[in-house]
Structure 1
Amino acid sequence: MDETFYERVYVQVRKVPAGSVCTYGDIAALAGYPGAAREVGLAMSRVQRAWNLPCHRIVNAKGTLAPSYAFGGKDRQRALLEAEGVPFLDSDTIDMPRARWPRPESPEPSQQQLDLGI
């Protein structure tokens, strides 16, 4: 990936609001590179502390915390996310339906659902 890729990824990472998380795949798509989740992971590994990016908010699609070599370990990542109000299901798993940003769009209700008042 070229420098444009990294710049576009970091622009998207900056947009993730406190109290939310975004997946590597979503960041890739938002940056214009759908399917480049692994490359986003590489981009995250190159971030320097001085850049002050909220990298702790970028997680895998399952919502599990990062391995021990990232963010100072999963306990550190969890502490950062909890301080922002990110909800967890258990000690290692984020409640993705509640915390994910951007929220996946809900499908439009079918006419049958509308007729039934669903």
Structure 2
Amino acid sequence: MKTNKENFFDLVYQVVRLIPKGRVTSYGAIANYLGAKSGARTVGYAMNAAHTMDDVPAHRVVNSKGLLTGKFHFSPPEKMQALLESEGVTIKNDQVLDFQTVYWDPNKELEL
């Protein structure tokens, strides 16, 4: 997918807004859905820029193993875990428990 960074970030935010409460997805899954298979890092950059946007639930995006790798972009860092737990997601040692159960794959969930 050829887009400029701002447009790609906007597409990322559109997908993230669709993640249901109590579910999580990964940077790579979003990149793959947007046709940028190797764009997980860029999705991460978009999430880093989204932490001040109230309408983008950035706390629902974790790494491919369910780790809260983006937590240091929240203030305080514990906020990411608190937001997920308030939605019913169980976290232990900065990792989503039952990751496959709460995992939301946009390629499956948003099929045309």
In the TM superposition, what are the counterparts of 1:1-118 in structure 2 within 5 Å?
Answer: 2=4, 3-47=6-50, 49-66=52-69, 69-88=72-91, 90-95=92-97, 96-102=99-105
- Aligned residue pairs total 104
Secondary structure at the residue paired with 2:66? coil
Secondary structure at the residue paired with 2:105? coil
- Write out per-residue CA displacement over residues 15-46 of structure 1, whole angstroms, 9 at most, x where no aligned residue: 11100001000111122222200000111112
| Distance apart, 1:10 and its partner CA | 0.8
Gaps of 5+ in 2: none
Task: Answer yes or no: is the 8 Å Cα contact 1:66–1:73 preserved in 2.
Answer: no
Amino acid at match of 2:67: T
Change (3 A) 1:67 1:54: closer
- Write out per-residue CA displacement over residues 65-110 of structure 1, whole angstroms, 9 at most, x where no aligned residue: 135531224421111000001133x2311021111102887xxxxx
| Whole-angstrom CA distance in 1 between matches of 2:62 and 2:83 | 13
Percent identical: 37
Gaps of 5+ in 1: 106-118
Length-normalised TM-score, structure 1: 0.76
Length-normalised TM-score, structure 2: 0.79
Change (3 A) 1:49 1:92: same
